[in-house]
Amino acid sequence: MEALDLARWQFGITTVYHFLFVPLTIGLSVIVAALQTAWHRTGKHQYLQATKFFGKLFLINFAMGVVTGIVQEFQFGMNWSEYSRFVGDVFGAPLAMEALLAFFLESTFIGLWIFGWDKLPRRVHLACIWIVAIGTNLSAYFILAANAWMRHPVGFEVNEETGRAQLTDIWAVLSNDQAWSTYLHVVAGAFITAGLFVVAVSAFKLLRSRYYGDSGTPGDVPHRSEHDLFRATLRTGMVVTALAGALAAFSGHHQAQLMAEYEPMKTASAEALWDGEEGAGFSLFAVGDIEDGRNHVNIQIPKLLSFLATNDVNGEVAGINDVQRDLAAEHPGNGEVDYRPNIAVLYWAFRVMIGFGLAGVALSVAGLWLTRGSRMPDRPWMYRLAILGLPAALTANICGWILTEMGRQPWVVVGELLTAAGVSPGVGLGSVAFTLTGFTLLYGVLAVVEAGLLWRYVKAGPSHVVPNKEDGADDSDDSDGADTAVPAFVY
């Protein structure tokens, strides 16, 4: 193994870990802001409880997202100095905008939101969480614009003397079709994940209170108002997931068209399509021989790939062999490069992303039907199944990124810079192995802290939330006002 391989593993591991928190933060910021708005408009104590309860879970995720995001930036300087030299001029602008406009906005107003309860006027306090939500989503746009540029580089020219890409048109970078399309798709995935997070937490609380009582001890008396609260949040999470599911399918279709246009090798590899076809089918299950370049078994839905990739059921989709030939002819200076990414990984990542993601969406749609009117399912396994929606969504997101990033290989910037040319020249295998071990250990500890915190807050539940004095809260509050169950971080 070479330093390059290990550096790629390190980037992959830290990115996947970071991206467990990102979609939750993007989606939960808006859900919490919407819950607080509902409280502001109706004065119902239930919404205040939900805001504070899910607000805490959001804050834990937010903190983890920030910490793990900083590590991502270290990597550019550590293992990818040649890449940083090449893209630095172009990425400087969107990443500075992210820090100055979006991240400062988020971090300032999140502080005001945390400490401003009962101190700031209600409207101002509500505005704070909306600014956090807008900042979080703006942040995502700038980062994704930089990422999209690597798949479809625009608004730049390469300086022949320095060998660096120089920004010529920032607007072209920010309005790149790949940027806004990726943004819509990632935000859809984020809302599916956050919706299913709310569903999973609510289902867990309902399961415990319905079948085991509040304390988790069989025979305990169920907590009526918590039941109503979590029934409402369960359905809210399901509505969010169902709507985001429609956006994911729509934006995913657009992503597939851009992928076929800008990265035809990625499309062909994700479908194990060896030779170009008109009216190509979407593969459901294939077993093949990558060395030989053929499939032994390939079960397909006729014409669906052509529709996904070209918006025309009879459209032509290029195959792996065609694109390899074209790229070799286009880049003679690169020598004998195998332009095929890891076909097996791409093929399965594509299917798992769609399958797991849409299974979570289907679960929510079925859940909305089962909980219509005042109905509630009376089988514990149904609540357990609802909890499984969350790992399904996280897996779909991770597979989406694996498809995007591994599918771009061997390029780090499509058509401009090969990944092998982006690595830091002076960093050896031992150094990368050392930092990789360090990050893995650190991330292991962080995972335990995060899981422990989430578990404690979810278990403690929202009943410690006392109604605001001037609240006009409805009298369904059954809180005893004691917050002893919550270890810290009570705001």
> How far is residue 101's CA from residue 9's CA, in Å, rounded to a whole number?
32
HSE value, Cβ hemisphere, 13 Å, CA-based, for 466: 13
Minimum CB separation of residue 24 from ligand HEM in Å reads: 12
| Of residues 237 and 407, the one with the C-beta less far from ligand HEM | 407
Three-class HEC string of 298-338: EEEECCHHHHHHHCCCCCEECCHHHHHHHHHHHCHHHCCCC
Minimum CB separation of residue 183 from ligand HEM in Å reads: 8
Burial 360-378 (b: 16+ CB within 10 A, else e): bbebbebbeeebeeeeebe
Minimum CB separation of residue 266 from ligand HEM in Å reads: 6
Minimum CB separation of residue 372 from ligand HEM in Å reads: 24
Report residue 333 CA to chain centroid gap: 37
Four-point Cα dihedral 291, 293, 299, 304, nearest 10: 130
Residues within the interface to ligand HEM (CB under 6 A): 151, 182, 185-186, 189, 192, 248-249, 252-253, 255-256, 258-259, 266, 353-354, 357-358, 393, 396-397, 400-401, 403-404, 407
| Of residues 181 and 463, the one with the C-beta less far from ligand HEM | 181
| Of residues 256 and 323, the one with the C-beta less far from ligand HEM | 256
Q: For residue 478, give both structure tokens.
A: 């059954």
Alpha-carbon separation of residue 445 from 7, 13, 438, 441 (angstroms): 22, 15, 11, 6
| Of residues 286 and 392, the one with the C-beta less far from ligand HEM | 392
Minimum CB separation of residue 334 from ligand HEM in Å reads: 21
> How far is residue 187's CA from residue 251's CA, in Å, rounded to a whole number?
10
Minimum CB separation of residue 255 from ligand HEM in Å reads: 4
| Of residues 136 and 397, the one with the C-beta less far from ligand HEM | 397
Minimum CB separation of residue 418 from ligand HEM in Å reads: 18
| Of residues 232 and 243, the one with the C-beta less far from ligand HEM | 243
| Of residues 343 and 354, the one with the C-beta less far from ligand HEM | 354
Q: For residue 382, give both structure tokens.
A: 């149904």
Residues 6+ apart with CB under 8 A from 466: 479, 481, 483
| Of residues 55 and 400, the one with the C-beta less far from ligand HEM | 400
Closest CA to 388 of 206, 200, 208, 209: 200
Minimum CB separation of residue 395 from ligand HEM in Å reads: 9
Alpha-carbon separation of residue 172 from 30, 89, 153, 405 (angstroms): 28, 14, 9, 22
| Of residues 185 and 464, the one with the C-beta less far from ligand HEM | 185
Minimum CB separation of residue 149 from ligand HEM in Å reads: 12
HSE value, Cβ hemisphere, 13 Å, CA-based, for 354: 17
Minimum CB separation of residue 412 from ligand HEM in Å reads: 14
> How far is residue 182's CA from residue 393's CA, in Å, rounded to a whole number?
17
| Of residues 78 and 402, the one with the C-beta less far from ligand HEM | 402
> How far is residue 273's CA from residue 409's CA, in Å, rounded to a whole number?
17
| Of residues 126 and 200, the one with the C-beta less far from ligand HEM | 200
> How far is residue 254's CA from residue 407's CA, in Å, rounded to a whole number?
17
Minimum CB separation of residue 339 from ligand HEM in Å reads: 16
> How far is residue 47's CA from residue 122's CA, in Å, rounded to a whole number?
14
In the chain, the N- to C-terminal Cα span, in Å, equals 50
Minimum CB separation of residue 177 from ligand HEM in Å reads: 11
| Of residues 46 and 136, the one with the C-beta less far from ligand HEM | 136
What sign for the dihedral angle of Cα 374, 380, 382, 387?
positive
Four-point Cα dihedral 420, 19, 490, 47, nearest 10: 150
Four-point Cα dihedral 87, 90, 95, 97, nearest 10: 170
Q: Count CB atoms within 10 A of the CB of residue 337.
A: 15
Minimum CB separation of residue 180 from ligand HEM in Å reads: 11
| Of residues 29 and 424, the one with the C-beta less far from ligand HEM | 29
The answer to whether 259 and 251 are in contact (CB under 8 A) is no
